[in-house]
């Protein structure tokens, strides 16, 4: 964990981390690692963003569709849990709508 902290310099400020912690505690009253059952976690100091793809054989970057998450790391065993910022109500409203929209499948021309 110390190594990760050195690489990622305060990408999520303390106020944001407190909001994330409060949201998780509201929704998950008893937070425990599913692997080692300890209850001590740290919030990874940076958001993780996936770019959903419509073809698993190739990667398209920069279409603007992203799936941002925050990661919680068990300080005992290193298990990583990711939580969607949209589901926690932590995205700006317009971005939350975009992430929740169901896009119709693309038909071949």
- Contact footprint for Zn ion (CB under 5 A): 33, 35-36, 74, 76-77, 79
3-state secondary structure of 83: strand
Nearer to Zn ion, 2 or 59 (CB): 2
Nearer to Zn ion, 5 or 38 (CB): 38
Nearer to Zn ion, 8 or 36 (CB): 36
Nearer to Zn ion, 8 or 77 (CB): 77
Q: How far is the CB of 12 from Zn ion (least distance, A)?
A: 21
Contact 33, 75 (CB under 8 A): no
Q: How far is the CB of 79 from Zn ion (least distance, A)?
A: 4
Q: How far is the CB of 76 from Zn ion (least distance, A)?
A: 5
3-state secondary structure of 43: strand
**Element containing residue 11 per DSSP (H, E):** none
**Element containing residue 21 per DSSP (H, E):** helix 14-27
Q: How far is the CB of 38 from Zn ion (least distance, A)?
A: 5
Determine the Cα–Cα distance for residues 96 and 63; give it in Å rounded to an integer: 16
Determine the Cα–Cα distance for residues 9 and 79; give it in Å rounded to an integer: 21
């Amino acid at each position: 964990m110390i190594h990760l902290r050195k690489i990622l310099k305060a990408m999520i400020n303390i106020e944001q981390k407190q909001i994330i912690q409060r949201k998780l505690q509201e929704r998950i009253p008893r937070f425990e690692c599913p692997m080692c059952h300890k209850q001590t976690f740290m919030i990874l100091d940076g958001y993780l963003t996936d770019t959903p793809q419509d073809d698993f054989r190739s990667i398209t970057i920069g279409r603007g569709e992203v799936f941002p998450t925050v990661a919680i790391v068990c300080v005992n065993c290193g298990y990583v849990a990711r939580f969607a910022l949209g589901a926690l109500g932590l995205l700006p409203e317009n971005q939350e709508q975009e992430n929740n929209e169901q896009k119709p499948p693309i038909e071949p021309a």
